[in-house]
Structure 1
Amino acid sequence: MRNVAAFFDIDGTLFRNSLMIQHFKKLIKYEVIDPVIWYNKIKPTYEEWEKRFGDFEHYLETLAKVYIEELKGVNKPYIEFIASQVINVNGDMVYKYSRDRIEWHKNQGHKVFFISGSPDFLVSKMAEKYGVTEYRGTTYLVDENENFTGQIIRMWDSENKQKTLDEFVKKYDVDLINSYAYGDTVGDLSMLKMVGNPIAINPNKEFLISIRNDEYLSNRVVIIVERKDVIYKLRANVEIL
């Protein structure tokens, strides 16, 4: 019998923020990154988003560029230590719906995978915490001395997530028709299109419009919105204000 699987994005789908953002803050606390970098390069974009004049994805992209540059030359074991602190402190800051679904899938004997654009050294620790089958994150390359080179193999785009999902399907003999995928942005679109049970978690506007414009997804997707202590289950034709 073929395996049923559940493919989860992490940031915004399981985790209620961004692992990379939380790690960035810890890097400032541990004096790996100068606080001036935050104030000069990131804070203006953050404040635009915080006031809801700007876009979260733009804020995240701005921070990611600085994050990658600032990690260049830093030793991986030290960054791994700080990453562990992030998960120890923030690892439970997740959506109740997604946490419960992970447990449900595991109880059903399903394979559970994390496919995330966050750094692999953070994704690995979340994968260990939640006991998933296997994971993939953005790979941050190191040199012979285990110092970060500033080069990455990204995993936040739809194309690379699809390639990774294909690898897991072959490796674990996954039955896609009966499998599940969970995501919150257009980077997760390919994952949702490949399974019989696509679920969008708190989708942003771009993702919701992409779902509506896709005949397969618009007819099959379940949209979950979790706000305060209420979880809403919606269809793709939900009214947008």
Structure 2
Amino acid sequence: MRVAIFDFDGTLYSKETFTLLMNHLKHHPTHSPKYKTFFRKILPLYIGYKIKIVPESTMKERSMQIYAEALHTLSKKELDDYFLEMKESMRAGFNQDVIKRLNQHKHDGVHVMLVSGAYTSLLHAVTDELGFDEIIGTEIPFTEDGALNRAASIYHIQGKRKNEKIMQSLAAHTIDWANSFAYGDSFSDLPVLELVGKPVAVKPEQRLEQVANERNWAIL
């Protein structure tokens, strides 16, 4: 089986998901009062990251935790609906060249996967019409009665964690890695890109572009 693995932020979606999430909360007709509390909690974390005392991976994971906690009054169904509100604005930012590649892979019978650090429920909400065979994202922990489990920590899917989840998901299959594809835009996508024989750097940041040029990878 061949696979095609797509990143979301900066790849399928040309912008940054977390920026949109922040703006959505800030201007939301119902939930905007929660933004002040969220901002007060995330600001010291962001400052720590900018002055290089907080690693980027820690900053991202804690940011996802703080954002989810800001919406702790919402049930799972309400949170799914909240993410669905962003569908149209996010789809307007989709990279059409990447979607063409996605559709071609589907036509060719390739198993297409979306693997991202974004919330899984958000990914499902905004890509439901694209026909991914599988979506792997960051899960928000809920209790059995559908409330946010504030005692559980979010496990942010990033870097090598993406590879772990991919391998777990495909464990029952024999994968033709040499003829498989991966799409990513940032240096942090390197572990996934190195899994396959046909990596594609999508509008890559400088560090990834350098690697892609050195290794003669395709650049979209």
TM-score range, shorter chain: 0.7 to 0.9
Cα distance, 1:208 vs structure 2: 3.8
2:53 aligned residue: none
Whole-Å separation in 2 of the counterparts to 1:198 and 1:179: 8
Q: TM-score, normalised by structure 2?
A: 0.79
Structure 1 129/30 Cα, relative in aligned 2: closer, same or farther at 3 Å? farther
Structure with more relative contact order (C-alpha pairs < 8 Å, separation 6 or more): 2
Equivalent position amino acid for 2:200 in 1 = I
> What RMSD over aligned residues (CA atoms) do the two structures have, in Å?
2.9
| CA distance in 2 between partners of 1:152 and 1:75 (Å) | 17
- Report the AA paired with residue 4 of structure 1: R
Q: Among the aligned pairs, what percent are the same residue?
A: 23
Question: Is contact 2:181–2:200 with CA below 8 Å preserved after alignment?
Answer: yes
Deviation track 1:177-203 (CA, whole Å, cap 9, x = no partner) reads: 000000112331111101000111122
| 8 Å contact from structure 1 (residues 168, 174) kept in 2 | no
Residues 133-172 of structure 1 mapped to structure 2, 5 A cutoff: 133-150=133-150, 151-156=153-158, 158-172=159-173
How many pairs align? 206
Aligned counterparts, 1:115-134, within 5 A? 115-134=115-134
Runs of 4+ in 1 over 4 A off after TM superposition: 37-45
Q: Which amino acid aligns with 1:32?
A: H
CA separation in 1, counterparts of 2:147 and 2:19? 21
**Which residue in the other structure is 1:100 paired with?**
100
1:222 and 2:211 are equivalent in the alignment: no
Question: What are structure 1's unaligned runs of at least 5 residues?
Answer: 50-56, 225-241
Measured in 1, the distance between the counterparts of 2:38 and 2:93 equals 23
SS at match of 1:80: helix
In structure 2, distance between residues paired with 1:37 and 1:17: 25
- 1:13 paired with 2:14, answer no
In 1, Cα distance between the equivalents of 2:3 and 2:74? 36
1:172 Cα offset (Å): 3.9
More strand, by proportion: 1
Q: Which runs of 5+ in 2 are unaligned?
A: 51-55
Question: Per-residue CA shift, 1:110-140, capped at 9, x if unaligned?
Answer: 1110000000111122442210111100011
